[in-house]
Amino acid sequence: MTATIIDGKAHAAALRARVGTGVEAFVAATGRKPGLAVVLVGEDAASAVYVRNKGKATVAAGMASIEHRLSADVDQDTLLALVDRLNADPAIDGILVQLPLPTQIDERAVITRIDPDKDVDGFHPVNAGRLAIGIDGFVPCTPLGCVMLLKAVCGSLSGAEAVVIGRSNIVGKPMAQLLLRESCTVTTVHSRTRDVAVHVRAADIVVAAVGIPGFVRADWIKPGATVIDVGINRTVAGLVGDVDYAGAVEVSGAITPVPGGVGPMTIACLIRNTYVSACRREGVAIDPAI
């Protein structure tokens, strides 16, 4: 059996197009564009590429992109003062501070300073808490994109056995919460798990987010399972995921490639969260298709 290859680029393009339509209605209703502020500290090359791509996607969706670049040696108070200004600015609906931050800055202090109702990354503790207890808030973009792909491929996830590999605050933990919200039976495995394979073998849904190339072996995967590979690992062989793709494609029912799977969905979900934030702040109805 050969798996269905989940085309993340196509799913992301469709989501961006739906958001673009929603944005047109928002502009017609309010006379202004949704605004996303992105803050980049320092010169990290990968971060600069991400920020540029976020800006392009924001503008392509009909929204305003406001970029703030601060030097690598900026002090924490200056960064917090910028966050305060963005919190108070009525034209800004979403605030994203690109991570990682230089070592002189306490990342947690910065994330916690962002108004939770403008926190389109979903990293603020208030949004983590809202997700955990089932209140509307903002969900981190990468796991949100994963659950959208899963629902598009599988339909209802109710009752499925799901395993999440990795327990980061950005992917693993919110991913597990989202799958629970979809009524999956969720197991989170991590670096101290005694036997990862035994859990993966029982899973209908596998989400891999560990950052180790080829960590998930093909013989762990239950035939027909749906595999979502969040890993983006730069190796001599190029970009590879956390799953042994060549092997897994022969056993799984559906699988995301790397690149072209989860990655494109992350930015599309950021655009979606910014649109949703603008609608909530202005009392405009959110298009249910989004």
Report the catalytic residues: 54, 98, 121
- Measured in residues, the chain has a length of 290
Q: In what helix (H) or strand (E) does residue 197 lie, and over which residues does it extend?
A: helix 196-201
In the structure encoding, which two tokens stand for residue 204, read together? 């209908």
Q: Between 27 and 74, name the residue whose CB sits nearer to ligand GUN.
A: 74
Q: Between 53 and 187, name the residue whose CB sits nearer to ligand GUN.
A: 53
Measured from the CB of residue 101, what is the shortest distance to ligand GUN in angstroms? Answer: 9
Distances 187 to 128, 153, 202 between C-alpha atoms, Å: 19, 21, 10
The Cβ of residue 9 has, within 10 Å, a number of other Cβ atoms equal to 15
Pick one of 86, 110, 131, 141: the residue that binds ligand GUN (CB under 6 A).
141
Using rule CB under 6 A, residue 98 touches ligand GUN: yes
Measured from the CB of residue 217, what is the shortest distance to ligand GUN in angstroms? Answer: 27
99-138 positions binding ligand GUN, by CB under 6 A = 99, 121
Q: Between 74 and 99, name the residue whose CB sits nearer to ligand GUN.
A: 99
Distances 35 to 6, 123, 195, 227 between C-alpha atoms, Å: 31, 19, 46, 34
Using rule CB under 6 A, residue 276 touches ligand GUN: no
Rounded to an integer, what distance in angstroms lies between the CA atom of residue 261 and that of residue 229? 8
In the structure encoding, which two tokens stand for residue 37, read together? 């502020």
Longest dimension (CA), the chain: 57
Pick one of 3, 96, 139, 205: the residue that binds ligand GUN (CB under 6 A).
96
Q: Between 107 and 282, name the residue whose CB sits nearer to ligand GUN.
A: 107
- β-pair type (35-41, 94-97): parallel
Q: Between 98 and 226, name the residue whose CB sits nearer to ligand GUN.
A: 98
Measured from the CB of residue 96, what is the shortest distance to ligand GUN in angstroms? Answer: 5
Measured from the CB of residue 221, what is the shortest distance to ligand GUN in angstroms? Answer: 27
Dihedral sign for Cα 43, 44, 49, 53, please: negative
Rounded to an integer, what distance in angstroms lies between the CA atom of residue 230 and that of residue 285? 32
Q: Which stretch binds ligand GUN (CB under 6 A): 10-18, 97-105, 234-242, 256-264?
A: 97-105
155-184 positions binding ligand GUN, by CB under 6 A = none
Contact residues for ligand GUN, defined by CB under 6 A? 96-99, 121, 141
